[in-house]
Amino acid sequence: MDVEERLEQVLIEWEGQRFYALRDRDTGLLVCPICRVAKFVSPEDLVGHLVAHAKRQLDRRRPPPQRPHQTSSSEES
């Protein structure tokens, strides 16, 4: 069976927040809607995983640390 057909979109309510997630029809486990790889038993675990995704994206948006590039110039004034 196609993976897309096995996953159904479900509305999760957790701590007053609502968000969509995916659920595996066969196992009943929640599936991460972002990477579609990680599976979770409880909404709490899924939320923690989504937060980790968000943080990773934020990290990616940050410019890479710039090290002062020191040119080994032999020129002296």
Residue 11 or 35 having the CB closest to Zn ion: 35
Query: Quick check: 3 binds Zn ion (CB under 5 A)?
Result: no
Query: Quick check: 20 binds Zn ion (CB under 5 A)?
Result: no
3-state secondary structure of 49: helix
Query: Quick check: 31 binds Zn ion (CB under 5 A)?
Result: no
Task: Tell me the window of 8-16, 18-26, 31-39, 66-74 that interacts with Zn ion (CB under 5 A).
Answer: 31-39
Query: Quick check: 35 binds Zn ion (CB under 5 A)?
Result: yes
> At CA 19, angle to CA 48 and CA 4, rounded to 5?
95
Q: How far apart are CA 72 and CA 77, in angstroms?
A: 14
Burial class from Cβ neighbours inside 10 Å (0-12, 13-18, 19+) for residue 33 reads: middle
Query: Quick check: 38 binds Zn ion (CB under 5 A)?
Result: yes
Given the rule CB under 5 A, which residues bind Zn ion? Answer: 32, 34-35, 38
